[in-house]
Amino acid sequence: MEGGAAANSDTTAGGAAAATGGVQIKPSRRLPDFLQSVNLKYVKLGYHYLMSHLLTLCLIPLMAVIMVEVGQMNPEDVRQLWLHLQYNLVSVIVCSAFLVFGSTLYIMTRPRPVYLVDYSCYRPPSRLQVRSDQFMEHSRLTGDFDDASLEFQRKIVERSGLGDETYVPEAMHYLPPRPSMAAAREEAEQVMFGALDNLFANTSVKPKDIGILVVNCSLFNPTPSLSAMIVNKYKLRGNIRSFNLGGMGCSAGVIAVDLAKDLLQVHRNTYAVVVSTENITQNWYFGNRKSMLIPNCLFRVGGAAVLLSNKSADRRRSKYKLVHVVRTHKGAEDTAFRCVYQEQDDAGKVGVSLSKDLMAIAGGALKTNITTLGPLVLPISEQLLFFVTLVAKKLFNAKVKPYIPDFKLAFDHFCIHAGGRAVIDELEKNLQLMPVHVEASRMSLHRFGNTSSSSIWYELAYTEAKGRMRKGHRVWQIAFGSGFKCNSAVWEALRHVKPSPKGPWEDCIDRYPVQTVS
């Protein structure tokens, strides 16, 4: 399962304090203080506008000067200029040749755009739903957990942010549970084939047209592989480039997209399918070590299939264009490497252990990731503020707080991996986001639970179902995973995006957002 998942166990990170900790203002000073805050707000908006349009504002006077000078030229000056150009015809031809050669070279070597034609998120049948009280009663009746473990799970479930409509695999609905290789294969087939059937139906793409297949699932890696199961089911062509990624945690969905993107730079005029999922059936923990019980409370059934293309003809019908992928790996640090670790407990039962340092490690990975991502996406105004603050702190030892860039100026929508409530709380606080920016993440966690690497696609589907995605909007998908990794993908909407048929929110979007645990 995965690292991001874990951060779940917990309380909100200072939100209540922020809400109630305002300074008492004397009645006589309320209006001036209000006016001052309004003035500062508009000063900052004016600064961002000035820096964003600085080049245009500088070019306007220059163009005005050129036009005035041209207007003052007499016919004789114009004739002399034309004669001068005739005498330098060779220079003009040489410059034109270099310009044509350079333009051709750029067009031939530039990165190919990667388009997201469509994607599909799997919605399990209602018979697999589990309520919180059912989950606890089932855990008690299995007889595998002592009283302390049951109480610990009860607290986690209460604080997790999960609702009563999430799904667990069929093997976990039996008493006692029936985990087996056959049941795990059945779960994988239901999720992957369910998402792919809907994807092929919505896009009218034939399976034989797929040239690249990338599948990621962290904990279930049978032989033949999951990618081979898909090849066999849909009779994909014999020369398909297929890849199966295992053990990479909840951030593997972005890794799979990055791999597909690189392959699409090499192989012309083809489609790539990315399938992201996790398998729970054989990875349920039946012991009493608390650090291994958290995944039971958070992970639920889910998966997504994504269709990517490098065909220029697909731009018109595609939903998004891939803009950036930034990957951060902290595996060289021992504490980061072991913070999400699959192992046996003292009784020999296998589970995924989550370190108490997980949130701190995730924070460090996030800082490294956004340090790389920031210059690629932030407006120049934010980059200058960050640079000036850094110089003042490093060179002049000024006592100033590190400037946190305003990523709301770079992105319109945020898809934060729904690993747990604490993960979303921390990113909302540290990135200074508004509740609407994390709404998709909280609602996906509530409705579907932690679906591992596919959670960012359920969140994107939520934004579309709400009718909020407009042409030109930018989306930031960010996920955390064992290893320890933090990965980001940036997409740009190519049109006003509407939800695809049989989407995961089709039957319930009118009920959302709902009030979640605080």
Calpha distance 344→10 (Å, rounded)? 25
Calpha distance 236→214 (Å, rounded)? 13
Phi, psi of 490 (to 5 degrees): -115, 130
> What's the pLDDT score for residue 379?
86
Annotation marks residue 413 as catalytic: yes
Calpha distance 340→250 (Å, rounded)? 11
> Would you say residue 85 lies in a domain?
no
243's enclosing H/E stretch is strand 241-245
Work out how many domains the chain is built from and give that number.
1
Annotation marks residue 324 as catalytic: no
> Would you say residue 54 lies in a domain?
no
> Would you say residue 13 lies in a domain?
no
Calpha distance 157→140 (Å, rounded)? 14
> Would you say residue 385 lies in a domain?
no
> What's the pLDDT score for residue 404?
78
Quick one: DSSP state of residue 38?
H
> What's the pLDDT score for residue 134?
94
Kindly tell me the burial class for residue 311, based on how many C-beta atoms sit within 10 Å of its own C-beta (0-12, 13-18, 19 or more). middle
- Residue 483 sits in a domain whose CATH number is 3.40.47.10
Q: Beta partners for 271?
A: 210, 309
Kindly tell me the burial class for residue 323, based on how many C-beta atoms sit within 10 Å of its own C-beta (0-12, 13-18, 19 or more). middle
> What's the pLDDT score for residue 13?
35
Calpha distance 141→518 (Å, rounded)? 29
Strand 303-309 to strand 271-277: parallel, antiparallel, or no bridges (unpaired)? antiparallel
Is residue 465 within 8 A of residue 509, CB to CB? The reply is yes
Local confidence pLDDT in tens for the 518 residues of the chain: 444 444 443 433 333 333 333 333 333 444 444 434 444 444 455 555 555 555 666 767 777 777 766 666 677 776 776 677 666 667 777 778 888 877 777 666 667 899 999 999 999 999 999 999 999 999 999 888 999 999 999 999 999 999 999 999 999 999 999 999 999 999 999 999 999 999 999 999 999 999 999 999 999 999 999 999 999 999 999 999 999 999 999 999 999 999 999 999 999 899 999 999 999 999 999 999 999 999 999 999 999 999 999 999 999 999 999 999 999 999 999 999 999 999 999 999 999 999 988 999 999 999 899 888 988 998 888 888 877 777 777 777 667 676 778 899 999 999 999 999 999 999 999 899 999 999 999 999 999 999 999 999 999 999 999 999 999 999 999 999 998 999 999 999 999 999 999 999 999 999 999 988 66
> Would you say residue 52 lies in a domain?
no
Q: Which two tokens stand for residue 295?
A: 């995944």
Strand order in the sheet with 320-329: 241-245, 210-216, 271-277, 303-309, 115-121, 320-329, 485-493, 474-481, 413-416
Calpha distance 344→292 (Å, rounded)? 10
Annotation marks residue 84 as catalytic: no
| Catalytically annotated residue among 216, 339, 413, 415 | 413
> Would you say residue 419 lies in a domain?
yes
**Residue labelled with tokens 């066999």:** 232
Q: Beta partners for 120?
A: 305
**Of 424, 422, 432, 504, the residue nearest 463 (C-alpha):** 504
| Catalytically annotated residue among 417, 437, 486, 487 | 417
The alpha helices in 110-225, defined as continuous H runs, are 132-142, 147-159, 181-203
| SS3 call for 397 | coil
CA distances from 107 to 83, 110, 111 (A): 35, 6, 9
> What's the pLDDT score for residue 64?
72
| Catalytically annotated residue among 288, 297, 446, 486 | 446
Annotation marks residue 138 as catalytic: no
| Catalytically annotated residue among 217, 250, 297, 339 | 250
The alpha helices in 9-159, defined as continuous H runs, are 15-20, 30-52, 54-71, 75-87, 89-109, 132-142, 147-159
**Of 514, 518, 453, the residue nearest 489 (C-alpha):** 453
CA distances from 151 to 142, 145, 288, 501 (A): 15, 10, 11, 41
> Would you say residue 351 lies in a domain?
yes
Domain span at 261: 3-8+113-376+404-511
Residues 6+ apart with CB under 8 A from 104: none
Is residue 369 within 8 A of residue 326, CB to CB? The reply is yes
| Catalytically annotated residue among 8, 217, 296, 329 | 329
Annotation marks residue 446 as catalytic: yes
> Would you say residue 117 lies in a domain?
yes
Annotation marks residue 267 as catalytic: no
Rounded to 10 degrees, what is the CA torsion of 213, 219, 220, 226? 0
